[in-house]
Amino acid sequence: MKYSDCLAYRTLIAIARQRQGLDAPRCQVIFEQLDTSAVLQAALHRVLAEYQLSERKFAVLVVLFTLDPDPSTPADLAEHTGVSRSAITEALDQLAAQNCIVRERDDQDRRTIYIRLTPAGHELLDRALMQYLRTAGDIARLLDQSAQTNLLGGSALIKEGAATFLS
């Protein structure tokens, strides 16, 4: 069900229209963005699920692919994916169980562990990455260049507006 079809959404918009000092059209834009975001995430999650990947595991594989042939440490992966070290450890455990990565200890400093993609990890990522990007492109197929430019500009402004409430 679309968020805009829900009673809560319709009530919020009705209140914004009725109460002084509220801007119903702007509220509607934000609620539509939330609804769009949820639909987009669901579509892209479905693609990743076909490959037994979560967003976090996918991000780890993409970072390892980007840094290849150099190995990465769990700390580097946490930084590059924007998640905690414990979340990275869990993702690495799952990826190791899928034979997508290997952990190797540094010969000079046994405390340091390096992470590398396996050939199976490369192959899985290549298939998942292509389908993920193909799906993203297909989702946006109805947007011409002008609509893409306007949407990117509008999204940047919404992020800027939201950022003022995060600090």
DSSP 69-93: TS-B-HHHHHHHHT--HHHHHHHHH
Whether cis (ω within 30° of 0) applies to the bond prior to 69 is yes
Q: What is the mean pLDDT of residues 3-15?
A: 87
The pLDDT, as a whole number, for residue 100 is: 97
Q: Give residue 111's pLDDT band: very low, low, confident or very high (50, 70, 90).
A: confident
Fold designation for 58-167: Arc Repressor Mutant, subunit A (1.10.10)
CB 14 within 8 A of CB 95: no
Average pLDDT over residues 14-26: 94
Q: Are 73 and 113 in contact (CB under 8 A)?
A: yes
Of the chain, the percentage scoring pLDDT greater than 70 comes to: 98
**Measured distance CA(161)–CA(97) in Å, rounded:** 42
| pLDDT confidence bin for 9, thresholds 50/70/90 | confident
List, by residue range, all CATH 1.10.10.10 domains of the chain. Answer: 58-167
CA angle, residues 54, 83, 48, in degrees to nearest 5 = 15
Q: What distance in Å separates the CA atoms of residue 153 and residue 135, rounded to the nearest whole number?
A: 22
Per-residue pLDDT tens over the stretch 43-64 = 999 999 999 999 999 999 999 9
Q: How far apart are CA 38 and CA 35, in angstroms?
A: 5
Rounded Cα–Cα distance for residues 43 and 136 (Å): 9
Summarize pLDDT for 117-149 with one digit per residue, the tens.
999 999 999 999 999 999 999 999 999 999 999
Question: Is residue 1 over pLDDT 70?
Answer: no
Res 122: pLDDT = 96
